[in-house]
């Protein structure tokens, strides 16, 4: 990838610019260090709701104008909220990148939060949540996270609890906005066909005069060590086959076990890509979980996930069962594979395979300006400015023994939360009989 220029304006705004001249396009992003990790019970989902309100207009750009103007100039736009951050972008023909600067510098400080707009958006967001609730996999994941974490805010979903979504007020939203939407809590990222010095000048012109705010409050809660297996079972109608999810407490991106565990994830279900959100779907079918579960006809899908995060997170495993398969056999097969990772170092050729996947994902992630901006912005926030520069050294230094040791620490039984979804009405006695057997594993 091309080099990135990183500067910090006097008001604390971090600016990351990367010139890429392969196509006449540019993408402009505003990232904020706020997400569901900054929320407490009673206001869960507020970061995501604030994100929606930032499309509702400012005194100079009425609602609907952001999207209309961007489309008018041949661009695409969106916003999204994650546990560790909230982000907005405009991807445009390069000559119109100024439009991104105008929109983001305006709504960083001038968003309106009109009470009527807050109310109409309340039901839109509840509708978003209800759409997700229709999916048993989502419902099980919500149960799994809330059981795995007792203390840290990663325990609740980004969308928030429905009771909070009914209760949050306009003033709550506006306070959250004013607290976190300050230049000293933001990162601007632009990637594309522009001249960095010229763009830097225009960014300074638009954002330089915005006053810094008080430093947003730090997240205080620290998840205590887990001291024994936790289990959750979700039984409801609405699904066809049982699903298994497991979560193991795993370290934040800054921990020395991060790179070994990224490669462990790659061995288990294919290397996902260098960023928070993964890359192209490759490497699955020869991976250990696929071979142990899908090839042996226990499951129709099997995967794992470990992504870079600001605070300690979960290493996750997910399996969709084949109809009629004994759930206990599936759980035992997953634990066998994790036990193998913890018990014996991977062979050199297996590690080499995953490293080639990593190299390919790195190349694929450079096809298009937006994936590059996502990588730059998200990693600046979760991992800091030095991280991407050291990514390859960090990955290349991992030994099979380091992977084994990290897997042994992570996949310990007392560190495990197991979640099962069983469709109701129950498929007969098989599921409950299986659960009795499963209970002896822990």
Partner 1 sequence: MVEAHSRAGAASEAAVSVPITPEAVERRPLREVATVLVRESRGTPAFTVRGYLHAGGIRDPEGREGLALLTASLLTRGTARYTSERLALTLDSLGASLNVRADVEGVSFGVRCLAEDAALLLDMLAEVLIHPTFPPAEIEKQRAKLITGIREARHDTRAVADRAFRAAAFPAGHPYHRSLEGEEETVAALTRDALVDFHRRWYRPNGAALAVVGDVRADQVLARLDHAFAAWQPAPPDGPPAVPAASPGSSVQRRTESIPGKTQADIVLGVPGFSRTSADYYPAMMADLILGRLGLMGRLGATVRDEEGLAYYVYSQAQAGVLAGPWTVRAGVNPKNVERAVAGIVREIEGLRQEPVRGGELEDARDYLIGSLAVRLETDAGIAQALLEIELFGLGLDYLLRYPGLIRAVTPEQIGAAARRYLSLDGYTVAVASPA
Q: How many CB atoms lie within 10 A of CB 65?
A: 15
Taking contact as CB under 8 A, which single stretch among the options 28-36, 37-45, 219-227, 275-283 is the one that binds partner 1? Answer: 275-283
CB of 116 to partner 1, least distance (A): 10
Among the listed residues 19, 284, 435, 437, the single contact to partner 1 using CB under 8 A: 284
**169 scored as a contact of partner 1 (CB under 8 A):** no
DSSP-assigned states of every residue in 281-334: --S-TTSHHIIIIITTTSEEEEEEE----SS-EEEEEEEEEPTT--HHHHHHHH
CB of 222 to partner 1, least distance (A): 34
Closest CA to 383 of 51, 119, 85, 117: 85
CB of 302 to partner 1, least distance (A): 12
CB of 327 within 8 A of CB of 435?
Answer: yes
**123 scored as a contact of partner 1 (CB under 8 A):** yes
CB of 238 within 8 A of CB of 43?
Answer: no
Nearer to partner 1 by Cβ, of 111 and 320: the residue is 320
CB of 210 to partner 1, least distance (A): 26
Hey, CA dihedral for 251, 255, 256, 262, is it positive or negative? Answer: positive
Taking contact as CB under 8 A, which single stretch among the options 90-98, 150-158, 174-182, 408-416 is the one that binds partner 1? Answer: 90-98
Closest CA to 108 of 194, 202, 219, 34: 34
CB of 350 to partner 1, least distance (A): 10
Determine the size of the site formed for partner 1 (CB under 8 A).
76
**213 scored as a contact of partner 1 (CB under 8 A):** no
**74 scored as a contact of partner 1 (CB under 8 A):** yes
| Binders in 20-39 for partner 1, by CB under 8 A | 20, 22-25
**19 scored as a contact of partner 1 (CB under 8 A):** no
CB of 75 within 8 A of CB of 96?
Answer: yes
Task: Supply 70's token pair.
Answer: 């961007």
Beta bridge partners of 14: 8, 187
Q: Can you tell me the distance from the alpha carbon of 161 to that of 327, in angstroms, rounded to the nearest whole number?
A: 30
CB of 265 within 8 A of CB of 399?
Answer: no
| Binders in 324-363 for partner 1, by CB under 8 A | 352-353, 356-361, 363
CB of 384 to partner 1, least distance (A): 26
Q: Interface mask (CB under 8 A) for partner 1, residues 225-254, using x and -?
A: -----------xxxxxx-------------
CB of 179 to partner 1, least distance (A): 26
**91 scored as a contact of partner 1 (CB under 8 A):** yes
**110 scored as a contact of partner 1 (CB under 8 A):** no
Q: What is the maximum alpha-carbon separation in the chain?
A: 69
**300 scored as a contact of partner 1 (CB under 8 A):** yes
Nearer to partner 1 by Cβ, of 218 and 425: the residue is 425
Q: What share of the chain is helix, strand, coil (3-state, %, to 5)?
A: 45, 20, 35
Taking contact as CB under 8 A, which single stretch among the options 18-26, 148-156, 164-172, 200-208 is the one that binds partner 1? Answer: 18-26
Nearer to partner 1 by Cβ, of 218 and 348: the residue is 348
CB of 281 to partner 1, least distance (A): 7
Among the listed residues 71, 163, 414, 432, the single contact to partner 1 using CB under 8 A: 71
Among the listed residues 76, 110, 396, 414, the single contact to partner 1 using CB under 8 A: 76
Closest CA to 89 of 44, 21, 132, 25: 25
Closest CA to 264 of 313, 195, 162, 337: 337
Nearer to partner 1 by Cβ, of 80 and 252: the residue is 80
Nearer to partner 1 by Cβ, of 120 and 414: the residue is 120
CB of 324 to partner 1, least distance (A): 9
Nearer to partner 1 by Cβ, of 280 and 437: the residue is 280
Closest CA to 177 of 32, 60, 380: 32
In angstroms, what CA-CA distances link 52 with 39, 156, 256? Answer: 16, 19, 37
**320 scored as a contact of partner 1 (CB under 8 A):** yes
Q: Can you tell me the distance from the alpha carbon of 144 to that of 164, in angstroms, rounded to the nearest whole number?
A: 20
Task: Supply 3's token pair.
Answer: 């080099």
Nearer to partner 1 by Cβ, of 158 and 381: the residue is 158
Helices (H) and strands (E) in the chain, counts: 16, 11
| Binders in 360-399 for partner 1, by CB under 8 A | 360-361, 363-364, 366-369
């Amino acid at each position: 990838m091309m080099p990135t220029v990183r500067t910090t304006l006097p008001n604390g705004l971090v600016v990351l610019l990367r010139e890429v001249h392969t196509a006449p396009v540019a993408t402009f992003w505003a990232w904020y260090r706020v997400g569901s990790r900054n929320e407490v019970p009673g206001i869960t989902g507020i970061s995501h709701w604030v994100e929606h309100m930032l499309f509702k207009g400012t005194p100079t750009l009425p609602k609907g104008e952001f999207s209309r103007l961007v489309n008018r100039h041949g661009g695409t736009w969106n916003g999204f909220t994650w546990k560790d951050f909230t982000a907005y972008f405009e991807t445009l023909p390069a000559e119109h990148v100024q439009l991104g600067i105008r929109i983001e510098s305006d709504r960083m400080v001038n968003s309106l939060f009109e009470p009527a707009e807050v109310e109409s958006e309340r039901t839109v967001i509840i509708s978003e949540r209800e759409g997700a609730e229709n999916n048993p996999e989502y419902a099980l994941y919500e149960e799994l996270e809330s059981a795995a974490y007792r203390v840290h805010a990663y325990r609740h979903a980004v969308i928030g609890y429905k009771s909070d979504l009914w209760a949050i007020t306009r003033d709550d939203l506006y306070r959250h906005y004013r607290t976190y939407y300050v230049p000293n809590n933001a990162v601007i990222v632009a990637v594309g066909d522009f001249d960095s010095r010229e763009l830097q000048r225009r960014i300074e012109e638009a954002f330089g005069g915005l006053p810094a705010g008080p430093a947003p409050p730090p997240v205080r809660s620290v998840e205590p060590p887990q001291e024994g297996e936790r289990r959750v079972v979700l039984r409801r109608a609405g699904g066809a086959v049982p699903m298994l999810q497991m979560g193991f407490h795993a370290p934040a991106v800054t921990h020395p076990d991060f790179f070994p565990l990224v490669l462990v994830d790659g061995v288990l279900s294919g290397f996902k890509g260098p960023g928070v959100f993964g890359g192209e779907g490759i490497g699955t079918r020869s991976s250990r979980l696929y071979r142990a579960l899908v090839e042996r006809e226990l499951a129709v899908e099997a995967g794992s996930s470990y992504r870079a995060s600001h605070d300690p997170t979960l290493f996750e495993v997910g399996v969709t069962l084949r109809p009629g398969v004994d759930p206990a056999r599936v759980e035992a097969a997953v634990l066998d594979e994790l036990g193998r990772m913890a018990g014996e170092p991977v062979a050199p050729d297996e590690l080499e395979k995953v490293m080639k996947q990593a190299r390919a994902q790195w190349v694929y992630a450079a096809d298009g300006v937006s994936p590059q901006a996502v990588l730059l912005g998200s990693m600046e926030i979760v991992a800091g400015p030095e991280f991407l520069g050291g990514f390859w050294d960090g990955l290349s230094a991992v030994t099979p023994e380091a992977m084994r040791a990290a897997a042994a620490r992570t996949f310990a039984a007392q560190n495990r939360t197991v979640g099962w979804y069983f469709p109701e009405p129950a498929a007969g006695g098989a599921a409950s009989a299986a659960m009795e057997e499963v209970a002896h594993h822990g």
